[in-house]
Structure 1
């Protein structure tokens, strides 16, 4: 089968940052299904792993990355019971396994959902990873109750990004929250408003803008961009007994004492946790993706697809990584195979 990978972590401008090669078509066993990939999308995790995974050696066999895919089930393992050959599926994958930058991929069916029927292949491919991340953040980590928490405020840092774009919709439509998103460029501001944000504030003068809209403090903060940059501001802006969540990590220790007097809760969200550790509730991701598919099909939320690249080629994969690395991409970028 055709695959695209890399043998060493190189700048995207390097001719060998991605290389095309032929790999053996795998066969499913256990809970795995074999999917013929029709499209995938590129997320920040893709370029971060490409930049850092193979710094001190040159691999003999190229590493295949890629998380997010839409495809058709080609074969199933002996323990499967959720899908059959011919089913259309979408998923975000497992960071410990070979990725979706290949014509075929093995994936545990317990982290796979049915493809939304009313979406195109490209529209569906944009959704799995960001939807899982945003959904888990709101409803598994913070545990938003749409009735009890109705009207409470959530500040979404980087509202126009891939995760922010779906978090705005889920927080508004499912969580019944007052949604405040950050954006600075005119196009990203309009994107956030169009997705349903009640307010859009400029992250360059965050506290002043929040005061202007009457929300100097908020109940929840979702960091989808840079925890270290916003940490002290977040601890000031969060309301007593509020909740701060981050997906971005920190290269240095965080001063959690800043949360003590307000009794603020802090959580991490990593979409890969369930698959990395085969947690007891690993099947939760299957359930979430099916729920997301229903929400997309009935129009409650919409795809965050913004850019489509036609053709599973080295150049298109490089272009998708360039867009992500620029920090200026809006919504999601999808590659149609």
Structure 2
């Protein structure tokens, strides 16, 4: 009987070598960018992507760390800050051509197919983006990938850079209310379209844990209320696609469309948690900085926990919720 002696590390290296080869072939198939003499522009609409029926829903696993790609350097960000440091400073004209070329590669059909590695390895998307950006800067005669990534910091108001989809559709913000401040009420909707408010979900002496976006928790501990809020799509098919599995719906333009998305999510995943829906002005997100996902705790009228992504990995640690709950029960038992 043959026994495999391949270690997990060797298997991972092989997997990523294959992914790098596929990405290189996809880049080569797209060809180099055309020579641009006039001022370049990115079309207002994305290249036509194939339309398809959404794949069968997959029941989400309970993840202890949630990755937030919009915070990554490949999107010009380091968390909520922008990439600033670069050893090379290409001209604005060259940076524009870099952005246009990168955009074409990232939205190409062959790269979008590779993006479906997202489900099998959550780091695959960032790895593919790294490879694309390294290729782009080298194509234009540079070596530091930050020559491209610092574009948003160096030229924040340039229309070509602003038109790049990962800039144009990036909604990350810290919001208005910070941890330790009094919570602010916002107008929301039930999933069947009835107007309601955030504060209507609060009870005196009972913590309210809010999960916004793609965060899932199975149950609420005794004495604590758990609420999900459905917000704007993170990777909408017509804005920021990362393969057909993740990006299977467009960004809603009406409340009815957003409500339908929320209803379908609850149905497809047998989602039993109480859910409300942000309004089309995205007031909950603007107030609390919830996009693409975040978790919060409101207690006695104050925002006592507001999740922050790690400064190096740009991930949210779901253990923060468990730790807060444990500390809450411990402090309450000491006062009884």
Please, what TM-score do these two structures have when normalized by structure 1?
A: 0.27
More helix by share: 2
Please, what TM-score do these two structures have when normalized by structure 2?
A: 0.27
Please tell me whether Structure 1 or Structure 2 has the larger radius of gyration of its CA atoms.
Answer: 2
Highest RCO, 1 vs 2 (Cα 8 Å, sep ≥ 6): 2
More strand by share: 1
